[in-house]
Copies of this chain bind each other. A is one copy, B any other.
């Protein structure tokens, strides 16, 4: 019963241009494995009809796919899915992103974007169970791996905890280290994973296009007494990194479920030698 049914929903203001819609449609077909690396696409006239756009528009979409290296075009011959097709990127541990990357020998650095004491937004205040009126030390940072922007981090720490830290601390040390230096113990945490779209400012910091998809992770860290000591909102580039976890089937009969397992050694060269080679 939606208006999408008739298909003639053209011109919804904040929606997508036809070029971008065609671009996404192709990207999706590639991601779902419709073509194999090196395979030739249908011709431009055919594709244009399939996608319901003119050939000019289709070509703009293909221009973009080519610029991103997803396809290769050979004059007079056709458009081909590039060798590395939809191939997955480097994979990271879901829970210990930073530790994991350091283990891999990657150099990480941090750029501090902002640093201030502010009234927390309501969801952060309730996640940290802060009393009314208590402020937080809020910092926005970008973490770079081997010089490439990797994650956009917004951390909020109760004022009384963060008060001793300098901007220099935040630009150089991981937050967990600062917490433990302050005598606090990170005991347990609850994290939520979701997806979000990159706004223009975040996109600029991460070196991606606005409107790209991002992996969003929200984590609240508690001390042994269950008091909130840190709130983290992180945005990751899914084109460079994705999260991985192993599961084992545990339980009996009806209660049988998947149980997450800590990723021990991170077998990157295993089964996927190519990812390690590049």
Which of A201, A213, A216, A219 gathers most chain B CB within 10 Å? A213
The number of times this chain is found in the oligomer is 2
CA–CA, A248 and B120, complex, Å: 25
Identify the closest chain B residue to A140 (Cβ): B32
Contact A19 B13, beta carbon cutoff 8 Å: yes
Contact A199 B245, beta carbon cutoff 8 Å: no
Contact B211 A16, beta carbon cutoff 8 Å: yes
Pick out which of these stretches binds chain B: A40-48, A71-79, A157-165, A186-194. A186-194
Which residues of chain B are within 8 angstroms of A122 by Cβ–Cβ distance? 36-37, 85
Contact A15 B20, beta carbon cutoff 8 Å: yes
In this complex, how many residues of chain A approach chain B with their Cβ under 8 Å: the count is: 91
Identify the closest chain B residue to A233 (Cβ): B32
Which residue in B4, B13, B248 is a CB contact (below 8 Å) of A187? B248
Contact with B along A208-250 (1 / 0, CB 8 A): 0111111110110000000000000100001000111111110
Q: Which chain A residues have a beta carbon within 8 Å of chain B's beta carbons? A: 2, 4, 13-17, 19-21, 23-25, 27-29, 31-34, 36-37, 60-61, 63-64, 85-88, 91, 94-96, 99, 120-124, 126, 154, 185-204, 207, 209-216, 218-219, 233, 238, 242-249, 257-262, 271-272
10 pairs of A and B residues whose beta carbons are closest in the complex: A33-B121, A28-B199, A194-B242, A14-B64, A95-B258, A195-B195, A195-B213, A13-B60, A260-B260, A14-B23
27 A-B contacts (beta carbon < 8 Å): A13-B64, A14-B63, A14-B64, A21-B200, A24-B197, A27-B199, A28-B197, A28-B198, A28-B200, A28-B202, A32-B154, A36-B122, A37-B122, A87-B123, A94-B193, A96-B257, A126-B271, A187-B248, A188-B248, A188-B249, A188-B261, A192-B243, A194-B242, A195-B195, A195-B196, A195-B213, A259-B262
